[in-house]
Structure 1
Amino acid sequence: MRALRRWWHDTAGGLPATFWYLWAGLLINRAGAFAMLFLSLYLTDARGASEALAGTVVGAYGAGGAVGVLLGGVLADRWGRRATLLAAHLVTAGLMVALAFSRHLVLIAVLSALVGVVHSMPSPAFVAAIVDVVPAERRSRAFNLQFWAFNLGMAVASLLAGVLAEASFTALFLVDAGATLTAAVVIGWKVPETLRRAAAGVDAVPPAGRAAGPRRPGLHTALTDRTFMTFVGLTFVLAVLTLQTSTIMPLAMRADGLRPSAYGVVVALGGALIVLGQLFVPRLIDRHRKDVVLAVSTALLALGFGALALADELAVYLGAAVVWTVGSMLAAPPNAQINADLAPPELRARYQSVFYLTFPAAAFVAPTLGGVSLQYLGDRHWLIVGGLGLLAALGHLLTGPSRERHVAALRRAAERKPARPDGVGTSVPGRTDTASIRTGLTEPH
């Protein structure tokens, strides 16, 4: 029993109540957010679109997300985390209802792009709020639990969606809308605003190698941070690999004569593995350098998807899913932790928005190029995907040491930063100012 208590403390202990309400909202949202997962099958089976056209429409969803993630980061730093989350969830629910009853491909493409905008807006706000309320030394476990909740919800969603897709695509969109509304209720009821309103004129710590200038810090600060943008580029490759599951793999499985329910089983297996094993990941990887862990995890993703070049039956897809899922499990905590370490506190949501831009960008590239690649190259598409992943694994090994030096420099600069008389602008590593969110920091029993 003592060992179990210690494991629980190491895995989930010491996290504030606000984090758990954010976690619950994410879990509810993902458990019902399966409509876009089946968008390519919906377009080809229910609307008669070709594979290339379906990839283009799904790509419109990714293009909208590229706008939404940047918009979400700016709004989360200006409006606040809570307001951004609520607005995005409520608009998403309305758009899902509209998609449920749309019949024309042009309208579906427009609505998909709009859904991409509002689907991506919460990502930087969610992570910025977590970093706001969770002390630095506990963020790795918080990000691990966030990834666990995301995939627990995905596992539930995939099992339900596989059945619903065979019965009614309209039900997919309506259930998605209902889950999104429920998540909005949880956030509106229990999550306080976590953004500290700093005084105007507080400067962010400049990226290493570039002196602070007169320009007001904003998105350009993140976009011109070379170390950060190199990491973002490697994360983009990771996202392209991961999104093969929801964009191209359903089409490949259909070409192999497998039913939508079989696809649901493959995705659910990945989610189940994460649900069962993700809580043990921190102890497994804590002793190793983050760049090495990311290189190993990306290589596993490359091997798993590359193996689909040989897949023609469900058993092979399931075996490959085990390999790439282990890679995803190992990648999640260090990937999120590095992203948080590289972001100055004053620009936390904006840095998150640039980081999360990789996912809608990948959601555009993966189906748009992948649909054409699968149509004309067939199974050789998966060899290209695997090769791309192995190059990214090498990139992590080459850039990891300089990235760690950059993080150390940021920490030293933050420690030297003088405090204002009123305390605004002071950044103390490992501490979180709780004055404005005191009611949300009671640890659950």
Structure 2
Amino acid sequence: MGSGVSSGKLGQAVARSVGGLPRQFWWLWIGTLVNRLGAFVATFLALYLTVERGYSASYAGLVGALYGLGGVVSSIGAGVLTDRIGRRPTLLVAQVSTAVSVASLSLVTHPVAIAAVAGLVGMATNASRPAVQAMMADIVRPEDRVRAFSLNYWAINLGFAVSSTSAGFIAQYSYHLLFFGEAAMVLATALITFWKLSESRPQSAAPEPGLRPSGGEADISMWKVLRDTRFMVVVALNLLLATLIQQAFVSLPIAMGQQGLTSTDFGTVIAVNGVLIVLLQLPLTRFIEHRDPAKLLIVSALLTGYGFGLNAFAGGSAAFYAVAVVVWTLGEMINSPTQMGLVVRLSPTHGRGRYQGMYTLSWSVANLGAPLLGGIVIDRFGSTALWAASAAVGTLAALGYALLLRTMRNDAAEELAAGRPQPMSPAPDREPTG
């Protein structure tokens, strides 16, 4: 009897997590999962260059920087294309370009050619993100968006966990198999896009409930995005938190190594991040999806900043580092779907591609700058200073979210008092009933 009740509750929980979303969302979700399952090259590019090709660590770092720079460039370009030619064409161009450039990277041998193609790979790989996020916002109802973004985030991390593990075994046999394997998986994603996804770009300029009106597609330019103060504050705050999260993959292993911990210790500690996201992201989303996003964003910033700040007290204990990972991972899991919902609500309907491109740019800049920044701080002041600064940055981001969302509430109250509807309330989105 008890097992039957437990099974029933589990079934209800699953239904609440995945039910009610449109079929096109699930094809988009499957495409994301397949793509991430084959995301081998970015993880093992440095090893490929130094172990397989015999290049220096500095050259591998240069190639990695060019890969990141390609992502920075494509964030804006892909956002513009997403609005101009549509979500589906942008996705197809990005996916086919990724497959071709990844396969080419395994064939070129000249160092200049490798560096150039790596930049193209970074550009093509990142180009699909604004289109995916804009399409998701187009096809999912406002009240389901936090859940949808959370499911997509979960698929990204599940795919990354599997691909990182399997890539290590594949690389033992052939690095070329890694490159062509990723190319094949991306082509499979392109086929899903071609056969199962239809264009979702809104044809009417009429805004949906709870969102900012666009004023027509012709009015949405990158200059208008840059002048959108509230949105650019969100981008800046995300840049702060993204810079913190990227320290986990460069500064954290350096600090652990300086304290005598091994690469195995680091692998075990950082695995906690992926395991928590895979196990807890969906139930956590059920808990947060209809709660006040202002409080959630403030809490997420504090958890992220203080989670990294805890590293200052680890004292060479892998177990303590693992506890710190738990804290900042909880912040990451709360922030990602909540902030994506805020980004969509701040984005004019016909400017979603450009707005998503600018938001994606904050991640690309963090990927490019965080390793350099963390290395400089550790070299000059030590890892303890870096972790203390991380706590300060988390506090600053929390204050930024509090001020931003209080301003949005005040603006909403003034609009309502003047008899004008204000779509920018930070309360959870709701569509009218009836």
- State TM-score, norm by structure 1: 0.81
Q: Which residue of 1 aligns with 2:297?
A: 294
Q: Which residue of 1 aligns with 2:3?
A: none
Which is further off, 155-164 or 292-301? 155-164
Q: Distance in 2 between matches of 1:76 and 1:137?
A: 24
Paired residues of 2:21 and 2:144 also in contact (CA < 8 A): yes
Q: Which residue of 2 aligns with 1:49?
A: 56
Q: Distance in 1 between matches of 2:140 and 2:173?
A: 43
Which is further off, 17-26 or 135-144? 135-144
Paired residues of 1:55 and 1:370 also in contact (CA < 8 A): no
Q: Which residue of 1 aligns with 2:37?
A: 31
Q: Which residue of 1 aligns with 2:397?
A: 392
Alignment of 1:252-271 (within 5 A): 252=255, 263-271=266-274
Paired residues of 1:58 and 1:368 also in contact (CA < 8 A): no
Do structure 1's residue 19 and structure 2's residue 22 form an aligned pair?
Answer: no
Q: Which residue of 2 aligns with 1:339?
A: 343
Paired residues of 2:297 and 2:338 also in contact (CA < 8 A): yes
Q: Which residue of 1 aligns with 2:191?
A: 185
Q: Which residue of 2 aligns with 1:195?
A: 201
Structure 2, unaligned runs of 5 or more: 1-6
Paired residues of 2:147 and 2:289 also in contact (CA < 8 A): no
CA spacing shift, 1:294–1:121, aligned 2, 3 Å: same
Q: Distance in 1 between matches of 2:160 and 2:95?
A: 17
Alignment of 1:268-279 (within 5 A): 268-279=271-282
Number of residue pairs the alignment of both structures matches:
413
Shift of 1:104: 5.0
Give deviations 1:375-431, integer Å, cap 9, x for gaps.
Answer: 45442434333432232122222222113455786993679xxxxxxxxxxxx9848
Shift of 1:315: 3.5
CA spacing shift, 1:259–1:290, aligned 2, 3 Å: same
Q: Which residue of 2 aligns with 1:240?
A: 243
Which is further off, 35-44 or 317-326? 35-44
Alignment of 1:111-190 (within 5 A): 111-164=117-170, 169-190=175-196
Which is further off, 15-24 or 31-40? 31-40
Shift of 1:32: 1.8
Do structure 1's residue 368 and structure 2's residue 375 form an aligned pair?
Answer: no
The match for 1:412 among 404, 412, 421 is 421
Give deviations 1:218-269, integer Å, cap 9, x for gaps.
Answer: 2222111101111110011111122223444455556666666655544443
Q: Distance in 1 between matches of 2:123 and 2:294?
A: 31
Q: Distance in 1 between matches of 2:257 and 2:169?
A: 16
Q: Distance in 2 between matches of 1:347 and 1:187?
A: 22
Give deviations 1:139-176, integer Å, cap 9, x for gaps.
Answer: 11111111111111122123224445566554443333
CA spacing shift, 1:115–1:140, aligned 2, 3 Å: same
CA spacing shift, 1:173–1:385, aligned 2, 3 Å: farther
The match for 2:363 among 335, 359, 370 is 359
Q: Distance in 1 between matches of 2:345 and 2:308?
A: 30
Q: Distance in 1 between matches of 2:289 and 2:422?
A: 25
Shift of 1:289: 2.3
Q: Distance in 2 between matches of 1:348 and 1:24?
A: 22
Which amino acid in the other structure matches residue 14 of structure 1?
G
Which amino acid in the other structure matches residue 68 of structure 1?
S
Give deviations 1:95-146, integer Å, cap 9, x for gaps.
Answer: 2223334455544332232222112211111011111111111111111111
Give deviations 1:4-36, integer Å, cap 9, x for gaps.
Answer: 444234322110000000000101111221321
Q: Which residue of 2 aligns with 1:439?
A: none
Paired residues of 1:296 and 1:393 also in contact (CA < 8 A): yes
SS of the residue corresponding to residue 193 of structure 1 reads: coil
